Amino acid sequence: MQRIFFSSFVSLFLFLLPFSTFAALPNDPFFSNQWYLEKIHAPSAWDLTTGSDRVIVAVLDTGFDLDHPDLMENVWKNAGEVEADGIDNDHNGYIDDVYGYDFVDQDGNPLPNQQETFDASAVAHGTVIAGIIGAVGNNAEGIAGINWNVKLMSVRILNNEGSGNSAAAREGILYAVANGANVINLSFTGLEIDPAFKDALHKAYDAGIVVVAAVGNTHDGGINVDTTPIYPACHGEEVSEDWVIGVAASGPNDTKSIFSNYGALCTDISAPGENIFSTTYQDSTWTPFQKYYASGWSGTSVAVPMVAGAAALLKSTYPSITPAQMESILRLSADPVIATGDAVGKVGAGRLNIQNAFTIASSFVPAPILAAGEVASNSLIKRACSGQTNVDDPCRTVYFYSTDGKRHAFTNEKVFFTWFSNYDSVKEVSATFLSSLPLGKNVTYHPGTKMVKFQSVPTVYAVSKGGVLRPIVTEQVAFVLYGTNWNTQIDDISDAFFGNYRFGAKVTVPADYDVAKEKASVTGLNENFPL
C-alpha cells in the first residue's frame, strides 16, 4: 500500500456569489474568468454538444460539495439505493451509496468530514475538480463546466489534508467500474507501485473506461517522470496498452508550467493548469468554507479534469470510443506547447483542443451497421423504451437521421411541427443503434414558417435557410409579412439554444424578406443544415 496525495499548488482568492448576468453564451456570471475554456476551444465544441447525462465521470478525490448550486443538477445518483436507510438496497456491497462512496470513512456520505483536522485547500480540492468537469452551464449561476450536462460520481479516497493510500484508491476505481463510470479523474500522485492498485487500473481499461491522471508537480522546473516514475500516470506504460492518460500542465501562452513534471512516455497531453477559476467547497456551518467559487488554482491536478471533461464530452457524442482511441484522438488533435531544457518534446502531444478532437473523432467511429428492423438515413427516429414517461427522458427525444450520417435533435414540438404535421413517421430504434449515430447540430425552424425570439432579448427574428436569423426592425414590417395576427406567430427560444443559429442581415422593409420564397428555399431537412 502506498501513500498518495492530491497534485495542486494552490493560491486562493475567494468570491461571494453575485447574482448578475453575463452578456454572452453561456450566461454564467464568471464565464469570463474561465480563460482556459477558450484556450481549449470548448465553446466551439459546444456547438455540437454540451454533454449528456448518460455519461458518468467518477471524481476520485477529497469528495465534492453535493448541494453546490452549480453542481447539484449534475450529481450522479444511484437509482437503486434509498438514502440514509442503513440498507444496501441495490446489493452492490455498499450501504447508502446514493451519490457515491467514502473510502476514507467507509460510509455512503462522500463529503469532507467536518470532525477531522483539515487543510482548507484540500477540502476544496474535489469540488474544484468537479466544477471544471461538469458545473452546469448556461444556468445564470457561477461558471460553466466543460460539460453542461453530465453525471458526477463522488468517490472520496483522500482525507481532509489531501492524502490517502492506494488501497482506498483501488477500492474507489473498482467502485467506479462496477457502477457504470465512463471516465475516471485521478488528480493525485504516488511514488510506489502497488500491484493491487495497478490491477484495478487495468480492469478499468479493459472495461472501456477512460482514466486520466496527473503527472505531478515539482518546484523549479519539474522532473522527468520517465526516470522518476509518478503513479498512476505511469501505470501501463511498460506494457503494450497505455491504461492511463497522463496530463502535464501548461499556461495561458501555451508554455509548460514551471512546476509541471514531464516525460516522453508517461505524459500524453498537456492542459491548462495555472490560475484556474472553479467551484469550491461551501458549508454554511463550517466557518472556513463560506464561499462558492475560488480563483488561483494551479497544478497538474487541475489540468487533469480539463482532459477528463473533454473525454466525457466526446463520449456524449461518440459513446463507443475506446480508451486507446480516446488517447489517440486527444493526442492527434492537440496544439503545440513550448518547453525548454530537458522537457523539450516531453509534454505530451501538445495542449488539449476539444474542437479539433471532435473533428478527428468521426474518423475513429465506424459507420453504423444497420441491424434487422433498424432504419436508413433520411428518417425520423427515437429510442425504443418502455415504462419511461418523464419529460426529460431520452426516450422522448425525436431525431432526424440525416444523410450526413448524424442524428439531429428536435429541441421541442414547436420546431418539429414546422417540418412535419404529425409523429406518424417516427420510427423506434434500439439504444445501441441510436448511440452509434454521431450527434449533429439541433434542428432549427423551417424557413418562413414562424418568427422567433430569445427569452432574454426583445428582438424578433425571421428565419432563413440553414438556421439564419434575421432581425425584423419594426412591428409594421412583421405585420406586412405575417398579417394581422403576426404577434401570435412568434415562438420563444430558450437562450440555451442560441448556438444553434447564425445571424443574417436585418429585415428593414417587407421587400427584404419573401415569406413564400423562404418556405420554398428547402424541400427537406437535409437541405437546412449549415455547411
107 is catalytic: no
The residue annotated as part of the active site, out of 121, 257, 298, 301, is 301
The residue annotated as part of the active site, out of 28, 61, 102, 268, is 61
DSSP letter string, 178-225: HTT-SEEEE-EEESS--HHHHHHHHHHHHTT-EEEEE--B-TTT--BT
Sequence-distant (≥ 6) Cβ neighbours of residue 281 within 8 angstroms: 64, 65, 68, 112, 123, 124, 126, 127, 289
Q: Quick one: the chain helix, strand, coil %, rounded to 5? A: 25, 25, 50
174, 157 Cβ separation under 8 angstroms: no
Rg (CA), the chain: 24
Residues paired with 259 in a beta bridge: none
Helix H or strand E segment including 480: helix 475-482
Between strands 293-298 and 276-279, the pairing is antiparallel
462, 491 Cβ separation under 8 angstroms: no
149: left (phi over 0), alpha (psi -120 to 50) or beta: beta
Please give the grid coordinates belonging to residue 434. 441510436
CA 480 to chain centre: 45
Helix H or strand E segment including 147: none
Cα–Cα distance between 451 and 494 in angstroms, integer?
14
Q: What is the torsion angle, in degrees rounded to the nearest 10, for the CA atoms of residue 103, residue 105, residue 109 and residue 113?
A: -120
Cα–Cα distance between 118 and 190 in angstroms, integer?
20
Q: Which class for 193: exposed (0-12), middle (13-18), buried (19 or more C-beta within 10 A)?
A: middle
What is the arrangement of strands in the sheet containing 490-493, beginning at the earlier edge strand? 490-493, 451-454, 461-464, 468-471, 502-503
Q: Which class for 92: exposed (0-12), middle (13-18), buried (19 or more C-beta within 10 A)?
A: middle
20 is catalytic: no
The residue annotated as part of the active site, out of 125, 235, 408, 446, is 125
Cα–Cα distance between 528 and 468 in angstroms, integer?
10
125 is catalytic: yes
Active site residues: 61, 125, 301
